[in-house]
Structure 1
Amino acid sequence: MLFWQYDPVREFKTAFRVSFRGVTMADASMLHGWMNEAHVIPYWRLDIPFLEYKLHLEKSLSDDHQKLLIGKINGRPVSYWEIYRVREDIIGGYYDFDDYDQGVHLLIGDRAHLGKGFIYPLLMRTLHLQFQKTETKKVVAEPDVRNEKMIHVFKKCGFIPKKEVVLPDKTALLMMCTREAFERRWMDWQGNRF
Structure 2
Amino acid sequence: MTVPLFTRTDAVLGEFSLRPVDPYGDTELLHRWVTHPKAAFWLMQDCDLAAVEKEFARISADPFHDAFLGLHNGTPAFLMERYDPAHRELVGIHAAEPGDVGMHFLSAPTDTPVHGFTRAVITTVMEMLFADPDTRRVVVEPDARNTAVHALNKAVGFEVLRTVSLPSKDAYLSTCTREQFLATRGDHR
Q: Look up the match of 1:121.
A: 120
1:73-152 paired onto structure 2 within 5 Å: 73-112=72-111, 114=113, 116-152=115-151
Q: Which residue of 2 aligns with 1:3?
A: none
Q: Which amino acid aligns with 1:172?
A: A
Give me the CA root mean square deviation.
1.8
Q: Please tell me whether the aligned partners of residues 108 and 114 of structure 1 are also in contact (alpha carbons under 8 angstroms).
A: no
Cα deviation per residue 1:151-183 (whole Å; 9 max; x = unaligned)? 100000100111011001111111110111012
Q: With structure 2 as the length reference, what TM-score do the two structures score?
A: 0.89
Q: Percent identity?
A: 25
Distance of 1:69 and 1:32 partners within structure 2 = 14
Tell me the equivalent position of 1:30. Answer: 29
2:9 equivalent among 10, 13, 29: 13
Comparing 142-151 and 9-18, the one that deviates more: 9-18
Larger helix proportion of the pair:
1
Partner of residue 165, structure 1: 164
**Matched residue of 1:39: which SS?**
helix
Q: Does 1:46 align with 2:44?
A: yes
Deviations 1:52-102 (CA, angstroms, capped at 9, x unpaired): 222122112111212211111111111111011111113142122212200
> d(CA) in 2 for partners of 1:93 and 1:113?
41
- Aligned residue for 1:54, secondary structure, equals helix
Unaligned runs of 5+ in 1: 1-6
Relative to structure 1, is the Cα distance of residues 17 and 106 closer, same or farther in structure 2, using a 3 angstrom cutoff?
same
Structure 1 CA distance for aligned equivalents of residues 112 and 78 of structure 2: 9
- The 8 Å contact of residues 163 and 173 in structure 2, kept in 1 or not, is answered as yes
In 2: Cα distance, 1:73 partner to 1:45 partner? 25
Residue 40 of structure 1: SS of its match in structure 2? helix
What pairs up with 1:175-190 in 2 under 5 angstroms?
175-186=174-185, 188-189=186-187
Question: Which runs of 5 or more structure 2 residues have no equivalent in the other structure?
Answer: none
Contact preservation (8 Å) 1:37, 1:109: no
Match of 1:12, as an amino acid? R
Question: In structure 2, what is the Cα distance between the partners aligned to 1:10 and 1:113?
Answer: 26
Taking structure 1 as the reference length, what is the TM-score of the superposition?
Answer: 0.87
The answer on whether the counterparts of 2:38 and 2:109 sit within 8 Å (CA) in structure 1 is no
Shift of 1:111: 2.8
2:33/2:108 contact within 8 Å kept:
yes
